[in-house]
Amino acid sequence: MLTSALWGLVQGLTEFLPISSSGHLVLIPALLGIDGPDLATSAVLHLGTLGAIIWYYRIDIGRLITRPGSQESRTIWMLLVIGTIPAAIIGLSLSGPIDVIFTEPWIVAVCLMVTGLVLAVATLLPPGSRRVENGKWTDAIVVGIAQAFALLPGISRSGMTITAGLAQGLDRVQAARYAFLLGVPAIAGAGLIEGADLIRIGGFRASVLVGTVVAGLVGYAAISVLVRLLATRGLLPFAVYCLVGGAAAYFLV
């Protein structure tokens, strides 16, 4: 039970902070010399963070559902649909090779350093002013491709998509808003599929539920913290963390 809560804590903190939840769920067990959560359990933990996104952006999501025909909703629906396609295609076609990387902590450590470099570049981008409601289909393609790279453990989904949004001229907070809304279908798809498999093989235990709840509560707090930090300090602190943490992990695992 405590182990599951620990993985839920790690998942909740690292899913939204741009430091890669999948990477930490590989590197922390490797550094501690213990078994980490399997892929199915990790996916179910994502359902907790999915709940955090839905609750934090409940007003946005409510408008998308109740007013789908408004101009703003149509634009956001377009951005979500197009932005989801690259990761869906790559995820289905390369699931085997990607799964292998989860067994190689040193590769994950390198990917974490790559995340740090991307975030460092993001700090050099000029501040944007565009809102998600002003998005274009080209924005969705760029951010969607960035999200596809995050299928690799150690590459932060939020870090890649926020950076891509900034590169497209979105305001920092708006870039995070789009990144997290785009995460809803991605996280839901993976979590529901793997959760169904976990139930089918009888591996869904009460402890997994505890970890999922912890991930949701901690994840909500992490979103709140990240949005405030983006507005004041940007991504530099996370870039430093990923570079230093990835380098340390590379030599220790």
Out of 110-114, 116-120, 198-202, 216-220, least confident range: 198-202
pLDDT tens per residue, range 80-137: 999 999 888 876 666 556 666 667 899 999 999 999 999 999 999 988 999 999 999 9
Residue 111 CA to residue 101 CA, distance in Å, equals 10
Beta bridge partners of 170: 130
Residue 138 CA to residue 133 CA, distance in Å, equals 14
Would you state the pLDDT for residue 196? 61
Nearest 5°: phi and psi at 170?
-75, 150
CB proximity list for 66: less than 8 A, separation 6 or greater? none
Average pLDDT over all residues of the chain: 87
Is the pLDDT assigned to residue 37 strictly greater than 90?
A: no
Under the banding of pLDDT at 50, 70 and 90, the label for residue 15 is: confident
List Cα–Cα distances, 69 to 44, 80, 85, 121, in angstroms.
Answer: 32, 15, 22, 37
Q: What is the DSSP string of 153-171?
A: TTS-HHHHHHHHHHHTTB-
pLDDT tens per residue, range 38-97: 666 777 788 889 999 999 999 999 999 999 999 999 999 999 999 999 888 876 666 556
Under the banding of pLDDT at 50, 70 and 90, the label for residue 188 is: confident
Beta bridge partners of 130: 170
Mean pLDDT over 30-44 rounds to 76
Under the banding of pLDDT at 50, 70 and 90, the label for residue 209 is: confident
Is the pLDDT assigned to residue 161 strictly greater than 60?
A: yes
Domain spans in the chain, listed from the N-terminal domain onward? 2-252
Out of 20-29, 194-203, 223-232, least confident range: 194-203
Q: Is residue 219 within 8 Å of 15, Cβ to Cβ?
A: yes
Q: Is residue 46 within 8 Å of 11, Cβ to Cβ?
A: yes
Query: Which of these, 14, 16, 7, lies nearest to 39 by C-alpha position?
Result: 7
Residue where the block lists tokens 């951005």 = 79
